[in-house]
A and B are shown apart, each in its own frame.
Chain A
C-alpha cells in the first residue's frame, strides 16, 4: 500500500521518527482533518503538546465541556458531510463524551473520538482518572479500540476514519494510553482500504430494483417516505429526479428534512408524531409505500399493528439489519441510496398521480385552517413559536442552516422552517438529546462559515449546555441563537396536560435573566416580548455581524399540534 501524502510543516516532513502523540496529529492531518473539538486533561496532554506545534494546520476548538465537543463535531459532520473529530482526556473526560456518541450512533453521524487513557501498566488498577471507556462506549459506538503501543496509532486511526465514514456512518472511539503517546515510532501512514468482515454497502440487486419498479408503475396511490439516507449518500438530485418522473408524493422524517426543497410540488411534509396531517393520514390509505433511507422509527410509525397494512412496502436501505426490523418489506432494495435511485429511475414510468396529490392538498388545507394559520400568523395573544420560525424564514429565504435542540421548539422548527438546500437542518433525531443545539450550531458554523447558522433552542435545553457560550465568546463564532422561552419544559408539560391530568410535575422553569448571562460573554442580546418587535429584531439579529442572542417570550402553555398520541395509529392524528 502507498504512503499518503499530506500537508505538514517543513520540520516534520523529513522527521519520520516521532512519538505517539505526534503520530496522532500526523494521522489526523493525513485524513484531511483541519479542525477538532476538545478539552485537555492529564492522560491526553502529550497529544495537546503535539497539537501546539500544528496550530496553523489543525485548529483545536476548546469547548467548555466534553459533551459540547461531541455535539460540535456532530454539527460539523452533519453540515459538511465530513467526519467530525473530538478529543478528550481519560475518566470523566471520556465519560462526558458518551451522550454525544450515543446521539451520533442513533443518527448515523460520522465521528471519530480520541481519548487519552492512563498508562498501560495502570490499566485495571483504578488509577487516577481511569475509566473503562472501551467497555462503556461499546454499546453506543460503531467500533472502538484501545491502543497501548505507539506503533499501532496510525493503523488504528486510519481504520477509525474508514469505519466512521463508510457504509452507514457512525461514531468510533480510539482510546490511547499515555505511555503509547510518549513512545517513539517510525511513522508512516497508510489509508485503510477495507476488511472482509465489514461490508460497507451491499451490492445492488437489479432484480429487486425491477420488482420495485413494477410495483411503483402499477401504483395508484403511492407515497414516498424519505430519511437521512438520501443526504448521507448525496442522492438529493437522484431522489428528486426519481420522484418527479414517477410523480410520487414524498414525505420526510426529520432526519431527511432539507434533502428536498420545502416548496417542491411533490413535498407533502413531515411524518410522525408532530408531523403534517396529510402524510400521516394518507400513510394508511396509500397502496404503495416507498421508504428511502429511513428506518421506520416508532416516532414515525405510531402503532405498528395499524401502520400501512393496506400498502405494499418497498424499502431502499443500506443496512440489512433495518429491513423487516419494524415494518415488513414486500421488496427490499439493499444498497447505497444514490445507486438504487439511479437504477430505479431507469425502470419507473412517467406518472403524475394528480388526483392522489390533490388528496394531500385537501388535507394540507384542513391543517392550515385548523392549526398552521393561527400558529404562523396570530393576530393577538402571546407570541407563538411558529411565528418566530416564520419570521426567520422570511428573512433567510430558506438559505440558513437551522440547528435545533429537543422539544416543542424542535417540532415547530422542523414543521415550519423552509429549506432550499440539503444538510440545512441539524437536530438530534433519534436520541432526543437536550443540550444538543448550542454546541452543534458552533460545529455547523465552523463547517459552513459562509452560511447563516440559526440555533433554535428552548429555555430548558439552552441551560443544559449553556457553558458553550464561552466557546462562542472565545472563538468569536457568529452563530445566531434564538431561545424560545416559555418558562416550561414545554413538551413534557404538553404531555402532562394531555395525558397526566395537568399535573405539572417538575416542568416549571424558574429561569435566570438570560440577557445578563449572555451579556457576560460579550454577546449581543435582545429580548422580544411583544409581537410588533419580532420582525425587526429577527432582521437585526441576521444583519448583525457577530454572534447574537435573541430571546423570545412565547406562550407559556402553547401546544404543538397535530399530534399522534403514543400508542395511536398515524391515521388517528389529532389536529387539536
Chain B
C-alpha cells in the first residue's frame, strides 16, 4: 500500500549532488511531492528532506540507492507519525481586505498566522504548519483575493533518538 514517507538524505556539500539525488527518483518515475535542502546540525553536512507517496518496498529500495551515491552519508525514511514536520506558507493580500469589517483579519488571527509586512497596497502574512493547515487558510482567504501565494517544502525532524553525529562518528571510524 502506498503511504506518505519523508526521506531524509544527509550528504557532503558538493555541486550537482541534488541532481544525483533527484535522478534516483525520476529514473523510477517517482514523483517528488516536496523537497527542501538545508544545513544540518553537523558542520559541512547538508540534508535534503524529500516527501513521496509510495509503497514501503519502493521507498526502502530508493533509500538504498540514495545511500549508494558516493557523497550521500546516510538516507533514512519515516512515516508521517515518526517525524515532526512543518511547512511555511506566505500570502500576499491587498491591505484593504484587512480593513473591511475585520472578517479577513479574524481569519488570519484564528489561524494563528503572523503579519510580516504591511504596505499601503499589500500585506504579507506567514502561516507555518502542515500543508493541510496552510491550505485551509488559503481556502478561507481566497474569496477576499490572494495576490500571491507560496509554500515551502516540508522540513522534518525525526523522532528516533539516533543522532547524525553518532552516525558520522561511526562512519569516520570504520
Contacts and interface: CB of A to CB of B under 8 A. Distances in A.
Interface string A300-329: 000000000000000000011100110000
A325 B68 CA distance: 13
A233 to B, nearest CB: 18
Contacts of A199: 171, 174
Contacts of B159: none
Given A138-B20, A321-B64, A198 B70 contact: yes
Given A139-B27, A197-B12, A199-B174, A320 B19 contact: no
Interface in B71-104: 71-73
A321 B23 contact: no
Interface residues of A, number: 21
Interface string A190-209: 00000111110001000000
A368 interface: no
How extensive is the interface on chain B, given as a class? 20 to 34
Given A138-B19, A138-B23, A197 B68 contact: no
Nearest to B22: A138
Contacts of B73: 196-197
Contact of A197 (B15, B64, B171): B171
Contacts of A203: 174
Interface string B7-44: 00001101110011001000100000000000000000
Nearest to B23: A139
Nearest to A198: B70
Given A139-B27, A142-B70, A325-B61, A196 B16 contact: no
A199 B174 CA distance: 8
A196 B67 contact: no
B116 interface: no
B108 to A, nearest CB: 43
Nearest to A139: B23
B172 interface: yes
Nearest to B11: A197
A320 B174 contact: no
Interface in A179-230: 195-199, 203
A320 B71 contact: no
Contacts of B171: 196-197, 199
Contacts of B65: 321
A195 B64 contact: no
A142 B72 CA distance: 12
A490 B73 CA distance: 46
B168 interface: yes
A140 to B, nearest CB: 10
Nearest to B61: A325
A211 B43 CA distance: 40
A320 B79 CA distance: 22
A143 interface: yes
Contact of A321 (B12, B20, B67): B67
A319 B27 CA distance: 19
Interface in A228-263: none
A144 B174 CA distance: 24
Given A134-B16, A143-B70, A196 B64 contact: no
Contact of A138 (B16, B61, B172): B16
A144 B11 CA distance: 16
B71 A135 contact: no
Nearest to B65: A321
A320 B69 CA distance: 12
Contacts of A198: 70-71
A321 B16 contact: no
A146 B14 CA distance: 11
A477 to B, nearest CB: 34
A195 B12 contact: yes
Contacts of B168: 196
A163 interface: yes
B67 A135 contact: no
Nearest to A320: B64
B67 to A, nearest CB: 7
Chain B CB within 10 Å, residue with most, of A135, A163, A195, A325: A195
Tell me which of B11, B16, B64, B70 has the highest count of chain A C-beta atoms within 10 A of its own C-beta.
B70
Interface string B113-147: 00000000000000000000000000000000000
Nearest to B27: A139
A156 B12 CA distance: 15
Contacts of A320: 64, 67-68
A196 B19 CA distance: 21
Nearest to A159: B70
A185 B135 CA distance: 56
B137 to A, nearest CB: 38
Nearest to B73: A197
A205 to B, nearest CB: 13
Nearest to B14: A145
A139 B64 CA distance: 16
User: Which of A134, A139, A146 has the most CB atoms of chain B within a 10 A radius of its CB?
Assistant: A139
A339 to B, nearest CB: 15
A278 to B, nearest CB: 32
Contacts of B72: 197
| Residue of A143, A195, A196, A203 ringed by the most chain B CB atoms within 10 A | A196
Nearest to A168: B68
Interface string A320-347: 1100110000000000000000000000
A197 B73 CA distance: 4
Interface string A387-418: 00000000000000000000000000000000
CB-CB nearest 9 A-B residue pairs:
A321-B64, A197-B73, A196-B171, A143-B70, A196-B172, A321-B68, A198-B70, A139-B23, A197-B71
Interface of A: 134-135, 138-139, 142-146, 163, 195-199, 203, 319-321, 324-325
Given A144-B16, A197-B171, 4 more contacts: A139-B23, A139-B27, A196-B172, A197-B70
30 contacts: A134-B16, A135-B16, A135-B19, A139-B23, A139-B27, A143-B70, A144-B16, A145-B16, A146-B15, A163-B70, A195-B12, A195-B70, A196-B73, A196-B172, A197-B72, A197-B171, A198-B70, A198-B71, A199-B171, A199-B174, A319-B68, A320-B64, A320-B67, A321-B61, A321-B64, A321-B65, A321-B67, A321-B68, A324-B61, A325-B61
